[in-house]
């Protein structure tokens, strides 16, 4: 390995197993340390800056990094991979050369890569899911560089034809019986290079920045609902189109209501006298109204009463779901002497017909006991 072929991982001071975040952090630290503008035009620092920039340009790209891990610097010389025995070339490149564009070859120049899509997880309350919400969020994202307007070129400069591929975006190399055509590693397949990289973004055309974005959450959203903000993802390199930002909604549990689609469920305890005699209860809904629920006489624990149109709104539609109230009959635990006296009087008047389920169960027990004693 020559002096100009220092190992990229050693150059950035990271392990070969380092993830993208670690590599990016190491590059930023070294780039600031050796940037020519910070060192009075020192030639040694300028050379160091170019070397670490080349290393980062390789290792940040998954395909380039994989090729470098396998072949080292030879991966980017004379078409890459030469002299590797049976490893002549990637089969996709061979098939593309023989059969043309049907294997994804495309035109001579590669299109600029679109920026990455981003994900943002947002938690909201059930009330916000009911009414909808206008919110502001802050996202750290790569945006177009202001000085160069995303082009990557220093203001006042432009681009010129790549001298290596002569503007074709691809280079050819002889490997045995095959002529392999690959994207030009000097220009990244674009067919042109920057005359002078922008000092603010170092030729990337984008910089990291915290952005404040406005989001309209429609009524009726639920956990898992996805909202897309078109063009609010990461900016593409060198003026390429940006990606999208996807906001995933997570609705927090509510103290009173449970939700299933557009239906709201709640459990309401009632006294055993209300259960026996009937009555009404009022439930405050998410719509701000008080919904009256009629309790029929003789209701049992577990009975569900449905209120039409008092549930969640339909997402991007019309109407609302239902409110379902599940009744729980509560047995009193603290009785006054007079209350106990009245209950004793009531028990003396019981005939068994007041509680048909209990009477039926006792009848079944008698039949079982008779069968056992015969």
Annotated binding-site members: 145, 148, 162, 165, 184, 187, 198, 201
Angle of helix 43-59 relative to helix 20-34, nearest 10 degrees, comes to 170
**β partners of residue 247:** 120, 227
Written as six digits, the tokens of 119 are 């994900």
CA gap 35, 44 in Å, rounded: 10
N-term to C-term CA, the chain: 100
B/e letters for 328-367, b = 16+ CB within 10 Å, e = fewer, are ebeeeeeeeeeeeeeeeeeeeeeeeeeeeeeeeeeeeeee
- Strand 245-251 relative to strand 118-124, pairing: parallel
Residue list, annotated binding site for Zn(2+):
145, 148, 162, 165, 184, 187, 198, 201
């Amino acid at each position: 390995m020559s002096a100009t072929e220092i190992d990229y991982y050693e150059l950035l001071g990271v392990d070969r197993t380092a993830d993208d975040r670690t590599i990016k952090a190491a590059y930023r630290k070294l780039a600031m340390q050796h940037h020519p503008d910070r060192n009075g035009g020192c030639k040694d620092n300028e050379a160091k800056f170019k070397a670490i920039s080349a290393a980062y340009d390789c290792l940040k790209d998954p395909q380039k990094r994989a090729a470098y891990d396998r072949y080292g610097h030879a991966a980017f010389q004379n078409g890459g991979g030469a002299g590797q025995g049976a490893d002549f070339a990637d089969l996709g490149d061979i098939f593309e050369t023989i059969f043309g564009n049907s294997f994804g070859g495309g035109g001579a120049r590669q299109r600029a890569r679109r920026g990455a899509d981003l994900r943002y997880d947002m938690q909201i309350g059930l009330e916000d899911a009911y009414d909808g919400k206008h919110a502001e969020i802050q996202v750290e994202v790569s945006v177009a560089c202001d000085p160069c307007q995303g082009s990557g070129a220093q203001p006042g400069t432009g681009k010129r034809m790549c001298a290596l591929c002569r503007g074709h975006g691809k280079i050819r190399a002889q490997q045995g019986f095959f002529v392999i055509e690959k994207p030009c590693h000097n220009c990244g397949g674009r067919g042109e290079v920057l005359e002078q990289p922008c000092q603010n973004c170092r030729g990337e055309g984008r910089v990291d920045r915290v952005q404040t974005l406005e989001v309209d959450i429609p009524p009726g959203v639920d956990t898992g609902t996805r909202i897309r903000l078109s063009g609010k993802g990461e900016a593409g390199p060198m003026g390429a189109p940006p990606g999208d930002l996807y906001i995933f909604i997570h609705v927090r549990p509510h103290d009173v209501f449970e939700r299933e689609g557009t239906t709201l469920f709640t459990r309401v305890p009632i006294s055993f006298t209300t259960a026996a005699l009937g009555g009404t209860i009022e439930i405050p809904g998410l719509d701000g109204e008080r919904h009256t629920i009629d309790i029929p006489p003789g209701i049992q624990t577990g009975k569900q009463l449905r209120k039409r149109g008092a549930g969640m709104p339909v997402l991007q539609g019309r109407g609302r779901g239902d409110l379902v109230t599940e009744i729980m009959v509560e047995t009193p635990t603290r009785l006054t002497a007079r209350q106990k006296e009245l209950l004793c009087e009531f028990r003396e008047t019981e005939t068994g017909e007041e509680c048909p389920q209990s009477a039926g169960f006792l009848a079944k027990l008698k039949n079982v006991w008779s069968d056992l004693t015969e």
